[in-house]
Structure 1
Amino acid sequence: MDLELRHLRVVCAIEEAGSLTRAAASLRMTQPALSAQLRRIEGMLGGTLFERRNSGVVATSFGELVLGRARAILPGIDGLLADTARAARRRTTPDRVRLGSVGAPLLGHLVPAVRAALPGAEVTARCRSSPVPLLEDLAAERLEAAIVGDNPGRELPPPAGVELRPLVTEPVFALLPASHPLAAREEVGLGHLIGEDWAVPRPDGDRTREYWSTVFAMTGRQPHTPYEAEGRQLIELVRAGLAVSLCQATFIEVPGVAVRPLAGNPLWYRHVLAWHRDGPLAAHGDRLVREVGAGYLATCAASPVYARWRERHPDSAQLAAG
């Protein structure tokens, strides 16, 4: 019988457990079966590996030699097996691709792009208000890709094994009640909004509130923020005339709400596509970035306020598209 890796794992398990009884339990073997296997391993190697004592077993000098080599070999083998398993998963078309997204208009472009890249896979998606849990899910391989976002100077750190690829950086716009006097303007100065009551999203790990506060500080004031809300609830507070807020440039006006650019473009938001480097979409990353980016340009055209802004700021629009 030739020595195999499993034999080295048995030897290490015995040394780690300190007794044949405990090692047998960890290896899910009976103690007599483990003792018989140890004798065969010692026979193959040509020496006694452990001294049997009342308190357990202790490695002999010959055993220490074998254990030293086993500890040097096994981590490399385990790494090789893990790497090849991940590589095999990348080559195999999955039955299902799990996507995630924050509140951004790009998921509708990512889903068809993934379907085109992996036509045999079912595509599912879930949305979160914060990018942080989405990145955690990507790192743990509970998602294959996600649309996330961050702000200049507050960029998201990539978790181990996760690729972050910027898609587009766009200005942040003001969100006003349609009846607000400032809604009659083409653009709104941030200083004119500071004195209003604000509705803001709750703080989370993406540091958006921190970024906003830093920019607000340039006006010499911080806004009064009696309302903490997200999504539909935030829009309803603005529609009711109770608050103002900020929104993505691609936000499409709905009845009762007005979207206006901020004068001087003091705030920016970056859309980012993320995927796991060892996942099935890694080989399609460049294609997904191109197709989702092209979809973003179509989304811009569907937002009249943002489309007019891009016409007035061609250099910034080109930077965002690139």
Structure 2
Amino acid sequence: MDLEVRHLRVVCAIAETGSLTRAAASLRMTQPGLSAQLRRIENMLGGKLFDRQRAGAVPTAFGEFVLTRARAILPGVDALLADTARRQAAPGRIRIGSVGAPLLAHLVLATRRFLPGAEVTSRCRYSPVALLDDLAAGRLEAAVLGDHPDQELPPRAGVTLVPLVSEPVFALLPSTHPLAEQETVALAQLVDCVWAVPRPDADRTREYWSSACASAGRRTATPYEAEGRQLIELVRAGLAVSLCQATFLESPGVVVRPLAGNPLWYRHVLAWRRDGPLAGHGDAILRTVTAGYLDICAASPVYARWRRHHPEAARLPAVPVPAADAGLLRM
């Protein structure tokens, strides 16, 4: 793991709040997740940064050394990001970001439809929080984001966040796996398997998966860290099982199966700057992207079947939330 700016922000947040619990709340993380990240940062830097005392988290001498430099670095980084965002912004250019979700193309098409003269560019990142930072700093005009229950994206000044739909998380299995013969798979059946999982610092997906598996009373074996195509290839080779979005399309060698009881969920969220060029087209863009999402659902046989069997859970809002009133809402 390489040191990143967000790691310095974590260290500063703990020092400023004086508590891992309060720092986790300010960073919209769980306390165990923040503790695990702090341990990784300390291992990377080579020393203990905080002593946990009854009064809270107190920086060690080494921690004070790191904090002094972090506090000197972060203002310059923030200024650099703000300045580059202003220089990169150009009239008629719409910059769109996306996590690994199937809605990017539909958002681009909607943007080109309602702003036909605009130059549309896109870039993808695994972490929705990083994309939200880009929106807040003016480095993007719109983005496709996602989150999980109890891990909702934090509101940001100047950014509209509109949940589109919540969908179940499904199992991703090698086609030769014995569980592939079942119509649904219990999470408890997967716990004893070898897993391929996202790296822990990419976003909080791994933390969410781990928490759900822990409820089965056992710890999963996760020797393979991978994302995207690499994760799929590990599953295809029969080396591991994993989880995926419900809209994931089966391909030779891998199968998708619903999880019995739907214990895990993923929420698709659209976001745009309130002072940006898309703000006045929020309702129309939501309708267009929603229609695209329904097409994606229909093209995924496993998810389409699940939606027929769970009509209430699969319900989309009948009327998109007006952009001016949109907030972080649960379906």
TM-score by length of 1: 0.69
1:140 correspondence with 2:137: yes
Cα 1:181–1:205, aligned 2, differ >3 Å: closer, same or farther? closer
Describe how 1:115-194 pairs up with structure 2 within 5 A: 115-194=112-191
* Structure 1: segments with no counterpart, 5+ residues: 1-92
Question: Structure 2 CA distance, aligned partners of 1:294 and 1:192?
Answer: 35
Deviations 1:175-207 (A, max 9, x none): 000000100111100000000000000123642
Question: How far is the alpha carbon of 1:120 from its aligned partner?
Answer: 0.8
SS at structure 1 position matched to 2:293: helix
Describe how 1:248-267 pairs up with structure 2 within 5 A: 248-267=245-264
Deviations 1:11-47 (A, max 9, x none): xxxxxxxxxxxxxxxxxxxxxxxxxxxxxxxxxxxxx
Cα 1:245–1:320, aligned 2, differ >3 Å: closer, same or farther? farther
> Which moved further from structure 2: 279-288 or 192-201?
279-288
Question: Contact between 2:126 and 2:203, CA under 8 Å: does it hold in 1?
Answer: no
Amino acid corresponding to residue 120 of structure 1 in structure 2: G
1:213 to 207, 210, 213: 210
Question: Structure 2 CA distance, aligned partners of 1:200 and 1:320?
Answer: 32
1:112 correspondence with 2:109: yes
Question: Contact between 1:144 and 1:275, CA under 8 Å: does it hold in 2?
Answer: yes
Amino acid corresponding to residue 171 of structure 1 in structure 2: P
Higher Rg: 1
Describe how 1:15-54 pairs up with structure 2 within 5 A: none
Question: Structure 2 CA distance, aligned partners of 1:248 and 1:320?
Answer: 20
1:280 to 248, 256, 277: 277
Question: Structure 1 CA distance, aligned partners of 2:317 and 2:257?
Answer: 18
Amino acid corresponding to residue 174 of structure 1 in structure 2: A
SS at structure 1 position matched to 2:106: helix
Question: Contact between 1:176 and 1:238, CA under 8 Å: does it hold in 2?
Answer: yes
Question: Structure 2 CA distance, aligned partners of 1:118 and 1:206?
Answer: 32
Question: Structure 1 CA distance, aligned partners of 2:293 and 2:206?
Answer: 25
Question: How far is the alpha carbon of 1:291 from its aligned partner?
Answer: 1.1
Question: Contact between 1:200 and 1:225, CA under 8 Å: does it hold in 2?
Answer: yes
Question: Contact between 1:132 and 1:205, CA under 8 Å: does it hold in 2?
Answer: no
Question: Structure 1 CA distance, aligned partners of 2:291 and 2:259?
Answer: 25
Question: Structure 2 CA distance, aligned partners of 1:170 and 1:294?
Answer: 16
2:288 to 286, 291, 295: 291
Question: Contact between 1:154 and 1:206, CA under 8 Å: does it hold in 2?
Answer: no
Question: Contact between 1:170 and 1:320, CA under 8 Å: does it hold in 2?
Answer: no
Q: What corresponds to 2:33 in structure 1?
A: none
Question: Structure 1 CA distance, aligned partners of 2:240 and 2:202?
Answer: 24
Question: How far is the alpha carbon of 1:314 from its aligned partner?
Answer: 1.1
Amino acid corresponding to residue 189 of structure 2 in structure 1: H
Question: How far is the alpha carbon of 1:302 from its aligned partner?
Answer: 0.4
Question: Structure 2 CA distance, aligned partners of 1:287 and 1:175?
Answer: 34
Question: Contact between 1:300 and 1:306, CA under 8 Å: does it hold in 2?
Answer: yes
> Which moved further from structure 2: 242-251 or 198-207?
198-207
Question: Contact between 2:148 and 2:267, CA under 8 Å: does it hold in 1?
Answer: yes
Deviations 1:40-71 (A, max 9, x none): xxxxxxxxxxxxxxxxxxxxxxxxxxxxxxxx
Question: How far is the alpha carbon of 1:158 from its aligned partner?
Answer: 2.1
Amino acid corresponding to residue 275 of structure 2 in structure 1: D
Question: Structure 2 CA distance, aligned partners of 1:126 and 1:158?
Answer: 22
Cα 1:205–1:175, aligned 2, differ >3 Å: closer, same or farther? closer
Question: Structure 2 CA distance, aligned partners of 1:128 and 1:233?
Answer: 16
Question: Contact between 1:98 and 1:123, CA under 8 Å: does it hold in 2?
Answer: yes
Q: What corresponds to 2:232 in structure 1?
A: 235
TM-score by length of 2: 0.67
Deviations 1:296-317 (A, max 9, x none): 0100000001001111111111
Question: How far is the alpha carbon of 1:320 from its aligned partner?
Answer: 7.6
Question: Structure 2 CA distance, aligned partners of 1:230 and 1:291?
Answer: 29
Cα 1:314–1:149, aligned 2, differ >3 Å: closer, same or farther? same
* Structure 2: segments with no counterpart, 5+ residues: 1-89, 319-330
